[in-house]
Amino acid sequence: MEFTTQHFIALAPLLITSATIIVVMLAIAWRRNHSQTFLISVAGLNLALLSILPALKVAPLAVTPLLQIDSFACLYMALILVATLACVTLAHAYLGDGGTGYPGNREELYLLILMSAAGGLVLVSAQHLAGLFVGLELLSVPVYGLVAYAFFNKRSLEAGIKYMVLSAAGSAFLLFGMALLYADAGSLSFVGIGQALAATGLPSSLAQLGLGMMLIGLAFKLSLVPFHLWTPDVYEGAPAPVAAFLATASKVAVFAVMVRLFQISPAASSGVLSNVLTIIAIASILFGNLLALTQSNLKRLLGYSSIAHFGYLLIALVASKGLAVEAIGVYLVTYVITSLGAFGVITLMSSPYKGRDADALYEYRGLFWRRPYLTAVLTVMMLSLAGIPLTAGFIGKFYIIATGVESHQWWLVGSLVLGSAIGVFYYLRVMVTLYLIEPNLRRVDAQLHWEQRAGGVMLLAIAVLAFFLGLYPQPLLNLVQQSGLAG
């Protein structure tokens, strides 16, 4: 095939991210400087984000048989880059500077996050099983190192090993599923598989087995029940900015490719597989919310809560008609905003050289009297995760319910309502803790002027955005409507 200027424009976000990785690598080799590495990473990610605008002009364009750059890919690329940018900013505040910062090498964290983000960009534009696998591995492998980055902390090392072993098992299922699907359909491209499955009416048992095994591999990455067992331990052990990356950019990329696979080959989500997805969705919603009820650790609570949120998203995937793609887009944007805000507060409360993150709920007792700004941000995030009106989360949940009602998925809608009711309880519990007054609590004064730090300013911006989208969601709805899979 011939590469034209249009192909390079379409690939610009991925090429710029890859170039940033090389520049960061060379900069680290030349001279270790935490702030310099941070600035190069931020500049590269911003450039990649801006390059999505010209890429939209040439979309839709099949760059190679593996990658399709269209408005759907561009929306999720933008979402991944924004989430990565936020996590890099949080990592800079988290790792600290000088003698009071992280005791090991700080610069490699940025390198690993950028490599993982590049994998996410490949994944959301994949239109071929080979592209899907390359993107998924490029996304996952750097995360093993990121999760275990606080190597002097036993929990962090344990989380890294757990994630690596289970992720490798998930990848094995995925590969075997791809092999079975190829044996049946004779094609690795999503469109080819879709046509082969549609030609036979209902998918054959071999194709259904292949799709089922692929679903297991992807469900591992999305931590859906019953493949969720790694989630709370990994969220708790990972450094806070890494947990934020894992909860947002990593999961968005995997879910986007799942949507593309199921939308391009509708036969894939029919028959037995549709029933399996329904059961997984209901189980994820109920187990995620019920297990979150008992948690006294904020990171574990957010881990279980993320299982429930991806259960909600599966409702739109099962419906797969009408509003489905739009609902998924709206929900993922609102979920990313709120998760970044919640993990951002944990990041700014923590410092890695104290051995562990400030993630126990008792450390947040009476936080309002010490760090009012952080408390305000966390309160908005909890309200948004609970789906309370006037927050971004409400708009996302409203769309998912509308999709479920439109396709008459009453069991799924019922479980969503029940799950949300349970969710309100534990989100409110976190909020109440923030405003308690504890007479014997040892008051630790906050560092002064944290608001002037990039992390603090970004968190306030996220909180304002969560409110703004709750009050006036139209810009977000327009953006998502333009990025349908039709391109």
Domains in the chain: boundaries: 5-481
H/E run at residue 68? strand 68-69
96: left (phi over 0), alpha (psi -120 to 50) or beta: left
Length of the chain: 487
What's the confidence (pLDDT) of residue 268?
Answer: 53
Q: What angle do CA 322, 287, 265 make, to 5 degrees?
A: 30
Give, as one character, the DSSP assignment of residue 367: G
Question: What's the pLDDT tens digit per position in 378-392?
Answer: 999 999 999 898 889
> Residue 274 CA to chain centroid, in angstroms?
23
| Sign of the dihedral defined by the CA atoms of residues 480, 482, 486, 487, in that order | negative
End-to-end CA distance of the chain: 22
What's the confidence (pLDDT) of residue 116?
Answer: 95
CB 188 within 8 A of CB 133: no
Measure the CA–CA gap between 17 and 190, rounded to whole angstroms.
26
Please provide the DSSP assignment of 103-127 as one string: SS--THHHHHHHHHHHHHHHHHTB-
Phi, psi of 297 (to 5 degrees): -115, 125
CB 187 within 8 A of CB 193: yes
Q: Is residue 439 classed exposed, middle or buried when 0-12, 13-18 and 19+ CB atoms within 10 A define those classes?
A: exposed
Question: What's the pLDDT tens digit per position in 143-156?
Answer: 999 999 888 888 88
CB 113 within 8 A of CB 146: yes
Buried b (16+ CB within 10 A) or exposed e, 375-394: bbbbbbbbbbbbbbeebbbb
Measure the CA–CA gap between 457 and 462, rounded to whole angstroms.
9
What's the confidence (pLDDT) of residue 448?
Answer: 42
What's the confidence (pLDDT) of residue 487?
Answer: 40
Q: What is the pLDDT along the chain (487 residues), one digit of tens a residue?
A: 678 888 888 889 999 999 999 999 999 999 888 888 999 999 999 999 999 998 888 878 888 888 888 888 899 999 999 999 999 998 888 887 655 567 778 888 999 999 999 999 999 999 899 999 999 999 999 999 999 988 888 888 999 999 999 999 999 999 999 999 899 888 888 888 888 877 776 677 888 888 889 989 999 999 998 888 889 999 998 988 999 999 999 999 999 998 888 877 665 556 678 888 899 999 999 999 999 998 889 999 999 999 999 999 999 888 877 678 888 989 999 999 999 999 999 888 876 566 677 778 888 888 888 888 889 999 999 999 998 988 899 999 998 999 889 888 889 999 999 999 999 999 999 999 888 876 665 555 445 444 347 778 888 899 999 999 888 888 888 888 877 654 4
Q: What angle do CA 402, 408, 409 make, to 5 degrees?
A: 85
Report the amino acid identity of residue 6. Q
